[in-house]
Amino acid sequence: MATKAKYHSAFLKKKYKVREDNRCPICGRPRAFMRRFNMCRLCFRKFALEGEIPGVRKSSW
């Protein structure tokens, strides 16, 4: 229940802009957030492997 409440309150508009934290809009994960793609690393990996993020491909050498 506490996790659900924190997840819900994270998406509410904060009184001060400094209090806003980056959270993945897909899964709600607060850590490992990538600003460039606006998602966490787990969602980024999932979408990149499916080919849904343009310009991203798996590296190989």
27 is in an annotated binding site: yes
40 is in an annotated binding site: yes
| Contact between residue 23 and residue 10 where contact means Cβ atoms under 8 Å apart | yes
Distance CA 22, CA 35 (A): 8
17 is in an annotated binding site: no
Residue 43 CB coordination number (10 Å)? 20
Binding-site sequence positions: 24, 27, 40, 43
Binding-site sequence positions for Zn(2+): 24, 27, 40, 43
